[in-house]
């Protein structure tokens, strides 16, 4: 175990097929090490015990080149300097202030860029998935909550303090995703659809 709220119990840490038991809820980071006597390798994984998954309730792309058009029904969200993405989460299913909150986004196509994406909070939660446009989009906060990479697959960002703040407030969290700098080629993200 590299990180976690308490020590888990491994049935046999030296066995290639061991099991692990967790006694406390929370986020654990485990590392697997394999050695053959000559060389070795390691890999890590994150395990959330008793985690609540909150699915996105609304997601949409806005496009400055088609400022009046809505792209809420698309299967992919393009993010570059002229295309931004919006996500909204309903936090009311939580029963207490979360001890940790991780945003997970899945890329459908990584694009051809090395520019990370910035996540910003959006104070106005009243936007609609099927009505938001570039012309009507709420302005994101200037502060960057986190950045995510540009690889293919799952991207993760820690939003613990933001989710805790929103949970104490109206229990709705809206965020904006945009490139950290320009120029930036596109990245396609999967939508909830």
What does the pLDDT look like over 69-106, one tens digit per residue?
Answer: 999 999 999 999 999 999 999 999 999 998 889 999 99
Tokens at residue 46, please?
A: 């994150």
- Per-residue pLDDT for 175 more than 90? yes
* Dist CA 33 CA 35 (whole Å): 7
Those residues with Cβ within 8 angstroms of residue 160's Cβ, 6 or more apart along the chain or in another chain? 98, 99, 100, 101, 102
What does the pLDDT look like over 112-160, one tens digit per residue?
Answer: 788 999 999 999 999 999 999 999 999 999 999 999 988 888 888 999 9
* pTM score over 0.85: no
Least confident window among 48-52, 116-120, 142-146, 170-174: 48-52
Angle value at C-alpha 78, between 72 and 80, nearest 5 degrees: 130
């Amino acid at each position: 175990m590299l990180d976690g709220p308490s020590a888990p119990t491994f049935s046999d840490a030296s066995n290639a097929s061991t099991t692990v038991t967790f006694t406390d809820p929370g986020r654990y980071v485990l590392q697997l090490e394999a050695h053959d006597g000559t060389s070795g390798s390691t890999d890590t994984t994150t395990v959330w015990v008793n985690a609540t998954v909150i699915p996105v309730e609304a997601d949409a792309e806005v496009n400055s080149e088609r400022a009046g058009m809505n792209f809420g029904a698309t299967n992919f969200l393009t993010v570059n300097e002229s295309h931004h993405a919006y996500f909204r989460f309903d936090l009311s299913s939580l029963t207490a202030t979360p001890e940790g909150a991780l945003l997970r986004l899945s890329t459908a196509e990584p694009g051809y860029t090395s520019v990370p994406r910035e996540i910003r909070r959006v104070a106005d939660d009243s936007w609609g998935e099927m009505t938001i446009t570039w012309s009507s989009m709420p302005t994101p906060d200037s502060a960057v909550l986190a950045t995510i990479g540009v690889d293919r697959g799952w991207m993760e960002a820690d939003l613990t303090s933001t989710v805790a703040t929103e949970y104490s407030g109206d229990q709705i969290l809206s965020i904006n995703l945009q490139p950290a700098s320009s120029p930036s080629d596109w990245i396609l993200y999967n939508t909830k659809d």
